[in-house]
């Protein structure tokens, strides 16, 4: 009998079930954020952010960042989630 076998004998089956249940939990806020991010109003800001990211990524030397676009998009999503 190896040490692993002993550990398996002493494991509590209820603990295993709880761990499985915890792994299946989904944060409802994630779904709300996704829905809001794909809403009509936020989608325009998301496209603006993606355009900026593409532009910045295509350049090797640039000081431009997409911080403003990112903040605008996040603000839109957060506001939408708050109002729902």
Mean pLDDT score of the chain: 84
- Tell me which residue of 24, 19, 15, 18 sits closest to 7, measured CA to CA: 15
Q: Which residue has the higher pLDDT, 30 or 16?
A: 30
- pTM, entire model: 0.68
Q: Which two tokens stand for residue 71?
A: 């903040």
Q: What is the pLDDT of residue 24?
A: 76
What percentage of the chain reaches a pLDDT higher than 70? 74
Burial class (CB in 10 A: 0-12, 13-18, 19+), 48: middle
> What confidence tens digit (pLDDT) does each residue in 39-80 have?
999 999 999 999 999 999 999 888 999 999 999 999 999 999
Q: What is the pLDDT of residue 54?
A: 96
Q: In 3-state terms, what secondary structure has residue 76?
A: helix
């Amino acid at each position: 009998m190896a040490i692993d076998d002993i550990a398996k004998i002493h494991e509590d089956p209820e603990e295993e079930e709880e761990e499985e249940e915890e792994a299946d939990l989904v944060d409802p806020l994630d779904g709300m954020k996704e829905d809001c991010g794909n809403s009509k109003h936020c989608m325009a800001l998301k496209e603006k952010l993606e355009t900026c990211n593409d532009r910045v990524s295509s350049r090797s030397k640039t000081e431009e960042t997409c911080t403003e676009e990112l903040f605008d998009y996040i603000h839109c999503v957060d506001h939408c989630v708050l109002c729902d």
